[in-house]
Structure 1
């Protein structure tokens, strides 16, 4: 039960950050600039290859934390395709965590 509350709090904080314009938002050690850099690579209908800025952000990201969002409703609610998001590490020549 406590885990669900923590997830709910995280989702609310992230959604509030999106409403405020991503100012100061950080997710799994990816700062606002990294999130903005990666957004075109994880949104449909025409995702693009990740930029160097996106890959640099992923290099310092907590990929295990990001994997926790794989089946979350949060990513689609922000316009992010979870499958595209989970494919980013490989596109940046990074190894995703096991079982991700």
Structure 2
């Protein structure tokens, strides 16, 4: 086998190894903050998007009920779902039966 064939086989083997590694990798997650994984808040995005958002799903409400909302609202600029109209965030909390809105959430402004 000449050098060109050997190089081609080595490159192909390396490509296969990279592909297998990508397939086997777990979905990336973020570091939990405020008793939640910030990526899980994406389950709430439909409930605060658009002019007439749908009601939040049960998964969204479970996430919000477990979260330290005082802490979450302090990170408004870092959590895209909170970068929406404060009235939509307040409606979301109300629809998830969260009746006590922490002061940091009351101060949400665009």
For the superposition of Structure 1 and Structure 2, which TM-score range results when normalised by the shorter chain?
0.5 to 0.7
2:92 — aligned with what? 88
Residue 42 of structure 1 and its aligned partner are, at CA, apart by: 1.7
Check conservation: 2:69, 2:102, Cα contact below 8 A.
no
Out of 30, 38, 47, the residue aligned to residue 44 of structure 2 is 38
Assess, with a 3 A threshold, how the Cα gap between structure 1 residues 58 and 73 changes in structure 2: closer, same or farther.
closer
TM-score (norm 1): 0.55
Change (3 A) 1:23 1:41: farther
Q: Counterpart of 1:24?
A: 29
The whole-number CA distance in structure 1 between the counterparts of 2:74 and 2:38 is 19
Considering only aligned residues, what root-mean-square deviation do their CA atoms show, in Å?
Answer: 2.8
1:33 deviates by 5.9
Which structure's CA Rg is the greater one?
Answer: 2
1:33-72 aligned at under 5 Å gives the runs 34-69=40-75, 72=76
Q: 5+ unaligned residues in a row in structure 2: which ranges? A: 1-26
Q: How many residues are aligned here?
A: 75
Report if aligned partners of 1:44, 1:81 keep a CA contact under 8 Å in 2: no
Give the structure with the higher percent helix.
2
Q: Against the structure 1 CA distance between its residues 67 and 32, is the aligned structure 2 distance closer, same or farther, given a 3 Å change threshold?
A: closer
Shift of 1:56: 0.5
